[in-house]
């Protein structure tokens, strides 16, 4: 009995230590998809590609690459990129892209255009030459969305 009190106090202290069960961070990041839009663009032309947004969140468009067709290196030319809604003909075939937002930019490894778009299946990403292109070029656009 001589050690009963201190042992009881020690046990109480140890039992009070720690509260590990509620400290784990809970992942809340929604899954995101990255699509590639690679093609060739000619002088004074434009190209578009359709994409879908599955849930609310930020959609980013990144003109990541603009290169000559038949030699290594990059082209430094200002291009117009943007997003909008697809235009369909009576048969439901996508025939165009009505732009909602555009900007002029040069290629970079970070997204140039970011907007919060509601879920829909009729978005399009667009690239156009606005006078900076002197020759046909390969381009790569990354579209990242929820």
Binding residues vs other proteins (CB under 8 A): 5-6, 9-10, 13-14, 16-20, 23, 25, 34, 36, 38, 60, 62, 64-67, 72-74, 107-111, 138, 140, 142, 144
Give the nearer residue to other proteins in terms of CB position, either 71 or 93.
71
φ and ψ of 72, to 5 deg: -75, 170
Our CB check for other proteins shows the closer of 98 and 104 to be: 104
In angstroms, give the least distance from the CB of 42 to other proteins.
Answer: 17
Pairing of strands 94-105, 79-88: antiparallel
Contact 62, 110 (CB under 8 A): yes
Q: How far is the CB of 132 from other proteins (least distance, A)?
A: 16
Comparing CB distances to other proteins, the nearer of 96 and 140 is: 140
Q: Give the three-state DSSP class for 101.
A: strand
Which pair of structure tokens corresponds to residue 98?
């009505």
Q: CA-CA distance, 34 to 137, in Å (whole number)?
A: 22
Residue closer to other proteins by CB (options 24, 93) is 24
Cα 56 to Cα 27: distance, rounded to the nearest angstrom:
17
Nearer to other proteins, 91 or 109 (CB): 109
Q: How far is the CB of 103 from other proteins (least distance, A)?
A: 17
Cβ 88 vs Cβ 5: under 8 Å: no
User: Positive or negative CA dihedral for 77, 83, 85, 86?
Assistant: positive
């Amino acid at each position: 009995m001589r050690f009963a009190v201190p042992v009881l106090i020690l046990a109480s202290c140890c039992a009070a230590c720690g509260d590990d069960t509620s400290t784990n961070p809970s992942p809340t990041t929604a899954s995101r998809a990255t699509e590639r839009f690679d093609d060739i663009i000619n002088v004074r032309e434009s190209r578009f590609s359709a994409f879908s947004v599955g849930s609310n969140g930020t959609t980013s468009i990144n003109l990541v690459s603009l290169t000559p067709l038949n030699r290594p290196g990059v082209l430094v030319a200002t291009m117009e990129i943007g997003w909008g809604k697809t235009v369909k003909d009576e048969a439901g075939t996508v025939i165009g892209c009505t732009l909602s937002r555009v900007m002029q930019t040069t290629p970079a490894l970070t997204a140039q255009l970011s907007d919060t778009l509601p879920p829909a299946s009729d978005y399009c990403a667009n690239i156009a030459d606005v006078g900076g292109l002197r020759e046909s070029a390969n381009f790569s656009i990354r579209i990242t969305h929820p």
